[in-house]
Structure 1
Amino acid sequence: MNTTDTPEALYPLTIYFDGSCQLCSAEIRNLQLRDTHGRLSFVDCSPADFVSPVPGADRAALMNVIHGVGAGGQVLRAVDLFEAAYRAVGLPWVSRLLIHPLIRPIADRAYPWVVRNRYRLPRSLIRGLFERAARRAAQRAAAQPRCSDGACERSPEARS
């Protein structure tokens, strides 16, 4: 599915992820920090008693492939889900890369390998990949104006 066709109908997008996976949790934390417009919500499907609300996908399917359900009921999986999530959080360049005709086939082939090996990846590698990105995301989120009742205010960190 090419999710660039109707982005407005997709959000909010609920993402179902494996919270017992360090890699998955690090990526979700990165997305959470970047989601300054509230376009994404996140559900950890790792508890053993979790019952999937995703049409056509039980808990085992959700644990093996990241899934999302859009506002209009669209079910996204794997690379399609990441493309939509990165677009939602203001990383259109990553989103465009994932749909590029030369990159997409590589991403589609790499995703299953990463999923199969995600518990074997060293914590130091995951931390290295996501710590810097999370720090940038937190700084960006802090710089965003906070608005309520029609008035916006920048955080003290953003003013300095």
Structure 2
Amino acid sequence: MTNQLLTTNHTVEVFYDGECPLCVREIQLLKWLDRKDRIQFTNIAAPDFNAAEYERTPVQFMDEIHGRLPAKGSQPAQWIIGVEVFRQLYAAVGLGFLVGPTRLPGISHVLNFGYQVFAKNRLRLTGRCTAKTCEVK
């Protein structure tokens, strides 16, 4: 595994939970739509995934979806999180016309709020709660 995008053809890398049934369904749709191979898919639940290689913790990756945009010139790869990851993914598969409205005030706030609610309850919603993963703090 490498801390760089594998090819210059990729326009975005997504870090997804391969043990989350809802997440996997979304990733399968994106893989089907990604006919030009613009997305690099990285499964954070894979046995060989090492969060430290990306200077992140497993908890950070599990708390909300992460993505990276490729390095440009001397600029390093840029991290993106939350709803912005989905915007970049859908733009990469040719559905960019859906992205613009998601940036409008009001719509953007609702999407961000909805995603945060989902992210905080993802394990519970997918039946994956344990005493460790869903403990009340």
TM-score by length of 2: 0.73
- Counterpart in the other structure of 2:17: 18
Residues 3-32 of structure 1 deviation map (CA, whole Å, 9 limit, x = unaligned): xxxxxx994311101111111111111111
Helix, strand or coil: the match of 2:54?
coil
Helix, strand or coil: the match of 2:29?
helix
* Structure possessing the higher radius of gyration over alpha carbons: 1
Contact 1:16 1:62 in 2 (8 A): yes
Corresponding letter in the other structure for 2:94: G
Structure 2 distance, partners of 1:84, 1:76, is 9
Displacement of 1:89: 0.6
- Counterpart in the other structure of 2:54: 54
Equivalent residues in 2 for 1:1-160 (5 A)?
11-47=10-46, 50-52=49-51, 53-55=53-55, 57-72=56-71, 73-121=77-125
Structure 2 distance, partners of 1:90, 1:63, is 27
Displacement of 1:96: 1.6
Displacement of 1:54: 2.8
Helix, strand or coil: the match of 2:123?
coil
Q: Could you list the runs of 5+ residues in structure 2 that have no partner in the other structure? A: 1-7, 72-76, 128-137
Helix, strand or coil: the match of 1:118?
helix
Structure 2 distance, partners of 1:122, 1:50, is 22
Displacement of 1:118: 2.4
Residues 21-50 of structure 1 deviation map (CA, whole Å, 9 limit, x = unaligned): 111111111111111111101011024663
Structure 2 distance, partners of 1:10, 1:115, is 29
Helix, strand or coil: the match of 2:59?
helix
Contact 2:14 2:68 in 1 (8 A): yes
Residues 66-122 of structure 1 deviation map (CA, whole Å, 9 limit, x = unaligned): 111111101010111111111111112321232122211111111111112223447
The structure 1 segments of at least 4 consecutive aligned residues displaced by more than 6 Å after TM superposition are none
Structure showing the higher helix proportion among its residues: 1
Helix, strand or coil: the match of 2:18?
coil
Corresponding letter in the other structure for 1:38: D
Structure 2 distance, partners of 1:49, 1:38, is 23
Cα pair distance change 1:105/1:60, threshold 3 Å: same
- Counterpart in the other structure of 1:155: none
Corresponding letter in the other structure for 2:108: R
TM-score by length of 1: 0.63
